[in-house]
Amino acid sequence: MRFDKCVWIAGAAVWIPPGRDTAAAAVARGRIDAETAAAKAADTIAVAADVSAPEMAVRAANLAVDIAGRETAEIDLLIHSWIYYQGHDLWSPAHYIANEIGAVNCLPMTIHQGCDGGVLAVQDAAMRLSSDPGVHVALVTAADRFVMPGVDRWNNQPAYVLGDGGSAIVLSEEHPGGYGLRIASVCTRTHSNFDALCRGGREFATVPMEHGIPTQLSEAEWTAAFDAVGGRRVMNKISREMVYEVLHEAMVEANVDDDDLRLIVLPRSSERANEKMYRPVLEAFRNVDTRSFYRDTGHLGPADCGADIARIADDRLLEPGRFAALLCVGGGFTWTCVIVQAVAESGDRRA
Q: Which residues are bridge partners to 11 per DSSP? A: 170
Q: Is the peptide bond before 93 cis (omega within 30 degrees of 0)?
A: no
Question: For 113-144, what is each residue's pLDDT tens digit?
Answer: 889 999 999 999 999 999 999 999 999 999 99
3-state secondary structure of 247: helix
- Phi, psi torsion values for 110, nearest 5 degrees: -130, 155
Question: For 289-312, what is each residue's pLDDT tens digit?
Answer: 999 999 889 999 999 999 999 999
- pLDDT score of 215 more than 80: no
Average pLDDT (176-185) is 88
Residue spans of alpha helices (H) in the chain = 23-28, 34-40, 53-68, 93-101, 117-131, 219-228, 232-253, 271-277, 294-297, 303-315
- Of 114, 119, 296, 293, which Cα lies nearest the Cα of 214? 114
- pLDDT score of 64 more than 70: yes
Question: For 319-343, what is each residue's pLDDT tens digit?
Answer: 999 999 999 999 889 999 999 999 8
Residue 345, pLDDT score: 66
- The pLDDT mean for the chain works out to 91
Q: What DSSP designation does 250 have?
A: H
